[in-house]
Structure 1
Amino acid sequence: MGIDDSTYVHGIHVVHDGPREAPPLVLVHGSGASGSSWGPVVPVLARRHHVIRVDLPGHGQSPPAASYDVPGQAAVLAAALDELALSSVTVAGHSSGGYIATALAEQRPDLVGALALISSGPSPDALLPQPAVLRALIAPPLGPLMWRVRSDAMLRRGVTAVCSRPVTVPDDVVDDARGISYRTFRTVLRRNTEYVAERNVPTRLEALDVPALVVFGTADPRWDPDAVRLYDGTPNTRVERLADVGHFPMLEAPAETGESLLRFLAATSR
């Protein structure tokens, strides 16, 4: 597979997989997760690409930040890519990571050659009622208490609750989730909502001159799967639906997800 190492770049934790001379692919995780959430799909991607996984501020092994607004997180990512001397890369974001990727393209079009959004809800009104285990962990007044006493089993249930297919949650995903504070998580969720409420994602993509791939599971329990139709008419955007897949395609269908990304990468590199 080539290299496999981790470092800190502009204050955030970054993991490299695959040969450095290969075309770069940046992977951005969603709220409450970390770069480790991409683990099952990395081996197939790293055979052909230099895969760069980041832990956003306050997530995984990255330290907290003063602000968690989406443009601010995108600016941190931009500074890290500058430090790595990367430009015109493909950036793939899972869930709210797709918002960070989109904001990066808005701020620094020189850094983003293509976008891939996986399970990224298009607008706030597409959000479904959340599974009970997530409500217990998030909603006040019990949320802070539940957050302090959460077990590994509860963290795993939090992941599997948004999946449609049976999954095995990797240990590093659980370990990284344990390190996120309740305040950080709640703040990140609010800032994500503000970003898509200001302007929905399809509208933002339409304003960008960047090829985009949108991947959505047809059984996503977090976002209304029918809402993916909002992306269908977006110029320069390809939509792929994964049958019977929930919110976490990288865990539920790593082979399908990896192949979708590879097809897109091959098409945009021509």
Structure 2
Amino acid sequence: MHIAESGPADAPPLLLLHGGGVAGWMWRPVLEALRTPVRALVPDLPGHGADASVDYRSHDETAAELERLLEDRAPAGATVVGFSLGGQLAVLLAARRPELVADAVVVSAQAKSIVMPQLTLAMLAAAAPLAKWRRFARLQAKELFVPQALLPEYLADSARISKATLIASVGENLRFTVPSGWARPAERAGAAPSALVVVGAGERALMRDSARVLHEARAGSELRVVDGVGHGLPLQRPDLLAGILDERIARAHPRG
């Protein structure tokens, strides 16, 4: 897994997990807006960006790779932030390995499986070639609020993404439900990490419902509904998300 690492070696570790169809570059505006020094760990997930040649296969396999990353580079725990598909992975990491997650910030993650996902995936398979069509990719970029400065990277990644990655990642996304470890943190070994669940007020009802499900399942978590934001907070309002992260990082990693 390709990992971009930046920031002071002794700064609080921050793992940023991108959504499906984009790559680690999507976090650049947030990192630029942060006031808190961090050691940022930004992977390109399988099938995306620099790892486009290795198809995405499952959340389980990807989460296992991310666990090894944290064991190696942040064994005392990191603030883990995930958007959309990356948000689901953040939930899995916090559920499976709470000792590696000092704090989880879950942005726009679906947590309710849809009816008849096979039909949706069949339609997606038929439409997969559209991802390589530049005009269609530009329309998708607009939906995700990709800024003009990052548009070339989005278009390049859209052209590289394989049908196998598209079907596997979207399939995992559609079938995702709250894992038991997330719902019962008090029963896990070690200190239970905190969590913040964030959703845009302008997102689909399914996404808003999913945010409530995640919040209600985890005692002590916080829920924040952001007015004026759709499915694309990190790119639509990077300044706002950076401000949230400044507060969370200070709480998870207080300075002596």
**What interval of TM-score do these two structures reach, taking the shorter chain for normalisation?**
0.7 to 0.9
Mapped pair 1:61 → 2:42: no
CA distance in 2, matches of 1:211, 1:228: 15
Deviations 1:5-28 (A, max 9, x none): xxxxxxx11112222211010000
Look up the match of 2:154: 173
CA distance in 2, matches of 1:204, 1:269: 23
Q: 1:19 to 1:156 in 2, by over 3 A?
A: farther
SS in 1 for 2:240: helix
From 222, 226, 230, the counterpart of 1:238: 222
From 191, 203, 208, the counterpart of 1:220: 203
From 148, 156, 180, the counterpart of 2:138: 156
Tell me, yes or no, if the aligned pair for 2:94 and 2:182 is still in contact at 8 Å. Answer: no
CA distance in 2, matches of 1:99, 1:27: 12
CA distance in 1, matches of 2:34, 2:6: 9
From 212, 215, 218, the counterpart of 1:229: 212
* Greater helix proportion: 2
SS in 2 for 1:121: coil
Mapped pair 1:257 → 2:238: no
CA distance in 1, matches of 2:47, 2:34: 26
1:112 Cα deviation after fit: 1.4
Paired residue type of 1:207: R
Paired residue type of 1:183: A
CA distance in 2, matches of 1:63, 1:210: 32
Paired residue type of 1:256: L
SS in 2 for 1:124: coil
CA distance in 1, matches of 2:205, 2:234: 15
Paired residue type of 1:215: V
1:65 Cα deviation after fit: 4.3
Q: 1:260 to 1:15 in 2, by over 3 A?
A: same
Look up the match of 2:183: 206
1:253 Cα deviation after fit: 0.5
1:96 Cα deviation after fit: 1.2
Mapped pair 1:35 → 2:24: yes
CA distance in 1, matches of 2:149, 2:233: 12
Superposition CA RMSD, Å: 2.7
Q: 1:167 to 1:82 in 2, by over 3 A?
A: same
Unaligned runs of 5+ in 1: 1-11, 127-134
Q: 1:140 to 1:24 in 2, by over 3 A?
A: closer
CA distance in 2, matches of 1:33, 1:161: 12
CA distance in 2, matches of 1:21, 1:62: 28
Look up the match of 1:77: 66
CA distance in 2, matches of 1:227, 1:88: 26
Unaligned runs of 5+ in 2: 186-191
Tell me, yes or no, if the aligned pair for 1:26 and 1:91 is still in contact at 8 Å. Answer: yes
Tell me, yes or no, if the aligned pair for 2:56 and 2:165 is still in contact at 8 Å. Answer: no
Mapped pair 1:190 → 2:190: no
Q: Aligned residues: percent identity? A: 25
Paired residue type of 1:217: G
SS in 2 for 1:26: strand
Higher relative contact order (CA 8 A, sep 6+): 2
Tell me, yes or no, if the aligned pair for 2:108 and 2:231 is still in contact at 8 Å. Answer: yes
Task: After superposing the two structures, state which structure 1 stretch, 250-259 or 153-162, moved more.
Answer: 153-162
SS in 1 for 2:136: helix
